Amino acid sequence: MPSPRNPGRSRAQDRTEDRLGTNRSVDGDAPDRRGARVSTRGAARHAPKGEIQPPARKAPAKGAPRIRADGSEAVGRPSRPAGAPARSPRPAAVRSSAPANAPVRLKSERDDGLHRIAKLLARAGVASRRDIERMIEEGRIALNGQPVTKPATLLADLKGVTVDGKAVGATEATRLFLFHKPNGTLTAERDFSGRKTIYDVLPEGLPRLMPVGRLDLNTEGLLLLTNDGALKRKLELPATGIERTYRARTFGPITQQQLEDLAEGITIEGVRYGRIDANLERSTGRNQWIELTLTEGKNREVRRVLEYFGLQVSRLIRVRYGQFVLGSSAPGDVEESPPQEVVRLLNGLGMAD
């Protein structure tokens, strides 16, 4: 007898399919072309090619309101499922207990009494830290007979340290000298071409001294000398912002307005020179004296800036370096700065022990 549900099939076939469950509708099942029921769940993955697939569920956009099943808007954070572990609290930002104007403590500063060997040797007047690092690379510095390989080697003192096979004496107190460098002398320890250096002019009996910065062969004036390599380096750094003042005798036309424009800095042949305070002191015809104050001290900076304006520099004198002034000293004169003045300088630079 034909089946009333499926024409062309017998009632016996319907009873067999009912018993096997292939003709039963479960949770949105739909019949396929063969009459069997298949689930639409996962249809996006398994639907036959060419059929319309249900849209995939998308996560709500960030900041968009959450909609409940009944169409109402959810307010606040979603509730945590029952039994879910509590989320650990976000750690609070670490706040410093130090006042806002407290001095910054450098990582290189230590409280255990140990110092880098390069620093100790610089303080002992052997050389600047940079030169000492080169000497270490060359194997010229040893500790207890073994070559030192790292400038960061930590020591309490210089006991057992040798330079070129000679023992290094105890660290001396920092000393600073004001030297009136004469024109025509090199700021160098020696010159292989035979030209005169500042060490040919300095009087005997002085400790081993290093120049703070350099003055050109034909530049005269104040040159600081020290036995402390660390102080030398600190005073030379442009970041320290120490002012240097020069007086230049020039020939050629120049206006005060042109000099005042140097306060904004200037770029010459790709080299950027920072702020320069320049004033026209006095002039006689096309000859004039110009005073310039700067903080960078790049190589031949004053001469290059003045020559950029078409001026010829016939004399250049440095009259001030920071708090130290040349005064009325004569070329070749040297004077030691009082110890209390040196202490004030070290305190101002944050280098006091």
User: Mind telling me the catalytic residues?
Assistant: 216
Please give the backbone phi and psi of residue 52, each rounded to the nearest 5 degrees, phi first.
-75, 125
The C-alpha torsion from 40 through 45 and 50 to 52, rounded to 10°, is 50
Instruction: Please answer whether residues 201 and 185 qualify as being in contact, where contact means their C-beta atoms are separated by less than 8 angstroms.
Output: yes
The closest of 340, 318, 343 to 329, measured between CA atoms, is: 318
Q: SS3 of 340, please?
A: helix
The whole-angstrom distance between residue 213's C-alpha and the CA centroid of its chain comes to 22
CB atoms within 10 A of CB 227: 23
* Pairing verdict, β 324-325 and 312-321: antiparallel
State how far the alpha carbon of 204 is from the alpha carbons of 121, 175, 200, in Å.
Answer: 23, 16, 10
CB 206 within 8 A of CB 197: no
Q: How far apart are CA 34 and CA 72, in angstroms?
A: 42
What count of other Cβ atoms lies within 10 Å of the Cβ of residue 313? 19
With CA atoms as reference, report the closest residue to 249 among 214, 291, 217, 212: 291
**What is the CA 241 to chain-centroid distance, rounded?**
16
